[in-house]
Amino acid sequence: MTADLNANSVPPATPGAVGHIRLTSHSGGSDALPIRWGAPTAAERGPVVGTTSRRAHRNVIGTHSGSYSVYRALAVAAGALSREHRADLTDTAPTDVVGPYPQWSEPGAIVSLDPWGAMTAEAFGTELAAGHDIRPTIAITKAHVVVPEIADAIANGRLHPDGRYLLPSGAASVTKAAIEPVWHLPSVAQRFGCTEAELRRVLFEETGGMYPELVTRSDLEVFLPPIGGQTVYIFGSAGDLADPEVELTARVHDECNGSDVFGSDICTCRPYLTHAIEECIRGAQRGGVGLVAYSRKEGRALGEVTKFLVYNARKRQVGGDTADQYFARTECVAGVQDMRFQELMPDVLHWLGVRKIHRLVSMSNMKYDAITGSGIEVGERVNIPEYLVPEDAQVEIDAKMAAGYFTPGPVPDAAELGKAKGRGLDG
Ligand SMILES: [Zn+2]
């Protein structure tokens, strides 16, 4: 059925894609290595192979690099990239060892990333030598992080350079890891309380039929979705994250380009992020370890177009931008208030071996519930200090506190929520 459907929509030949169309809806052969999700060792689990050059070796649906897989296709179409290119992984090995940890094989603990994704070269050397195109889905490196707010914290005496975690220049020394999404479909379905068949069908239909294998190849259980991944920043020793005796300060942050990068003042995203970095540095200096896990879920995973539409709707509504209409305006435009689905978020914490977060730098009840619901203990919850909340972001913070976000102070009442606090569009 799907083969016919595809045959009717054969695109014109391009310089980068010559020859017959390779339909994905039928098995390409029996040379693919098996994946046993959740197996206790890399050898038993098997590698994730999303190569497009050797169809018979593929053991997943989709391709590597998340949303950037589409740019890779463009590069091939433009003739700039050979589809036969193999990554030369010389000297790309992780700077720090992460795991393996018991969580890697706990049933259902990790469903949306490949815990062995950074270890491909060492774990699957034999298969690589045999010609399998196995690519890392995780990369781990080191960096210096230079943030103006940290320089301010030093100038104001809140932070003091120690030469190790915080350098005299004001740079923080970190280990960082980039993680691409790798979904085990049966486990993802279980996490969301639907059947695997329902999940596969909806993923197929709502991506415009982008991946026929979702509905034709039930033998392929792993999907590399074309979405953004995550980055983690570790302040201190990565190995300490798995030791519940070492104080862990952590923030799980969802991307907000407008605030995080450009400093838009309608929300608290960047102030909260930089506050978390400050807390992480201070925690590392106390002998603990800090962690910021950053997820590419722009605008509550609704995207920036939706987000900016909502901003206009909020500011143009009768009565002005008020906290009591904050979530309603989003729902009017998007149909839901939030699509971040924090249910998948704790996976990255389990990859890092985290058992206990002593100080969670977040007020979100959804994040807290997801983390504790996944079996990770949370001690103190650290709210954003009032002096870091931009004036125009008071609408957001009031609405969130009224909706159940953690606050050590008073929850705004109905009268407070009804006052217009946001700036107008002409302001
Ligand atoms: Zn924001």
Distance, in Å, from the CA atom of 127 to the CA atom of 99, rounded to the nearest integer, reads 21
Is 167 in contact with 173 (CB distance < 8 Å)? yes
Return the ∠ at Cα 361 (arms to 357 and 366), rounded to 5°.
85
User: Coil, helix or strand for 278?
Assistant: helix
The catalytic residues are: 338, 340
How close is the Cα of 270 to the center of ligand 1, in Å? 7
Greatest extent of the chain over all pairs of C-alpha atoms, in Å = 69
Give the 3-state secondary structure of residue 140: strand
pLDDT in tens, the chain (427 residues): 344 444 444 444 444 445 666 666 555 556 899 999 999 999 999 999 999 988 899 999 999 999 999 999 999 999 999 989 998 999 999 999 999 999 999 999 999 999 999 999 889 999 999 999 999 999 999 999 999 999 999 999 999 999 999 999 999 999 999 999 999 999 999 999 999 999 999 999 999 999 999 999 999 999 999 999 999 999 999 999 999 999 999 999 999 999 999 999 999 999 999 999 999 999 999 999 999 999 999 999 999 999 999 999 999 999 999 989 889 999 999 998 888 889 999 999 999 999 999 999 999 999 999 999 999 999 999 999 999 999 999 999 999 998 889 998 889 999 889 887 888 888 7
- Edge-to-edge strand order for the sheet containing 61-62? 61-62, 222-224, 183-184
Centre of ligand 1 from the C-alpha of residue 144, in Å? 24
Between the CA of 205 and the centroid of ligand 1 the distance, in Å, is 30
Q: Which three-class secondary structure state does DSSP give residue 176? A: strand
State in Å: Cα 307 to ligand 1 middle: 9
Question: What is the distance between the alpha carbons of residues 181 and 123, in angstroms, rounded to a whole number?
Answer: 19
DSSP label at residue 247:
-
- Adjacent-strand bridge partners of 175: 142, 234
Contact 298, 257 (CB under 8 A): yes
Spell out the residues 6+ positions from residue 420 whose beta carbon is closer than 8 angstroms to its own.
319, 320, 321, 322
Q: Decide: 384 and 275 in contact? Cβ < 8 Å.
A: yes
